[in-house]
Structure 1
Amino acid sequence: MVNIDRSGWFVAQLRPHGLAQARVHLKRQGFETFSPIILNAHHSQKKKTAERKPLFPGYLFVHFDPRNNGWGAINNTRGVSRLILNDPRRPIPLPDELMRTLQGRCDPGEIYKTANDLEVGDHIRVLTGPFAELVTRIEALPCTERVGLLIELLGREVRSTLPRSQVTKVP
């Protein structure tokens, strides 16, 4: 249920590269913020690193009470371009259920967990393509969009990668 007459979550559009700056300054002003992050694994010269990227690039969720006139300061906060409004005087609230779901899918560090959380060693079924219906195990997770597999083919194990959308976890 969306209700403009009570506190809730709203969306701020950010200036380019303004996420960190906006969060710091909004916190100083007493606003709670939320920005889910996804991790992309990168491999380079024997190093494995995880790049943090916003799930919604260019936007930040801000919690406030629209009945309090202090929310107008958000538009003048460093890093913030503007609040998303439906007219010049009223910010657009987000549905409570949407925010509960988003926050419930994040850990305390705001790292977003995908619905198809896969881990190395999990058994999966290939859904489409030449290996459709094949059940195998995950050998590696090179990035958030792909999975690395060992497929037995002609008596040999062959390494392959597939998009996550082509596999599902086997219970």
Structure 2
Amino acid sequence: MSDRRWYVVQTYSGFENSVQVNLERRIESMQMEDLIFQVMIPEELRIEKKADGTTKEKMVKMYPGYVFLEMIVTDDSWFVIRNTPGVTGFLGSSGGGTKPVPVPPEEILPILKKCGLLETPKLDVEVGEKVRVVTGPFANQIGTVDSIDMEKAEIKVLVDMFGRQTQLELGFEDIEKQ
């Protein structure tokens, strides 16, 4: 199993872009491409309405003062990141040389989806259709689609258990159309 995980470094607010450039230069110059894979500043498009009634599209940082890194933490990779100009520390590290704590997958996946780094699986079912659960403890159960949340890539399915309808929350990849 790869130790490739997402981590967050703190920067001074407003210096995220220069820290990203500094990190990318240091990663290349110190040949750390095999340990540090991506440097990302999560941004989203916001439409602002001006006083004169016109609208303006603007990219806004979702987490000002933070830069996200996909990396494998070793003493060398930790040293390169920690000693990059503008980096004040790792989020979840208490300092004093302690290793950083990775961002849990359930927290980083929605951020990656919102930034367009992960594709949301396509879904070809509608509410009321029959589906089969393909993973987990309810594998091979047939149920009816109750609701679909495209933003979270979740689907609620009603399955018959012990003579009652029970609702399951599943990911798009956990079901297939009947």
Structure 2 counterparts to residues 1-171 of structure 1, below 5 A? 6-30=3-27, 31=36, 32-44=38-50, 45=52, 47-84=54-91, 85-86=93-94, 88-107=97-116, 115=151
Q: Kindly tell me the number of residue pairs found equivalent between the two proteins.
A: 108
Deviation at 1:115, TM superposition (A): 4.1
Q: Is the 8 A contact 2:6 2:102 kept in 1?
A: yes
Residue 8 (structure 1) shift: 0.9
Instruction: State the alpha-carbon separation in 2 of the partners of residues 81 and 11 from structure 1.
Output: 11
Is the 1:6–1:65 contact (alpha carbons within 8 Å) kept by the matching residues of 2? yes
C-alpha distance in 2 between matches for 1:65 and 1:107: 22
> Which has a greater percent of strand?
1
**Alignment-mate amino acid for residue 62 of structure 1:** L
Extract unaligned runs of 5+ from structure 2.
28-35, 118-149, 153-178
For CA contacts below 8 A with separation 6 or more, give which structure has more relative contact order.
1
Corresponding residue of 1:160: none
Q: Identity of paired residues, percent?
A: 21
Preserved CA contact (<8 Å) 2:44 2:114: no
Counterpart residue type for residue 41 of structure 1: I
1:17-55, Cα deviation, whole Å (9 max, x unpaired): 111101111112334112221233234457532222211
Unpaired stretches in structure 1, ≥5 consecutive residues: 109-113, 117-171
Cα deviation, 1:41-74, whole Å, max 9, x if unaligned, reads: 2344575322222111111111211125222121
Aligned mates of 2:53, 2:110 — CA distance in 1: 37
Using the size of structure 2 for normalisation, the TM-score is 0.51
What SS class does the counterpart of residue 56 from structure 1 fall into?
coil
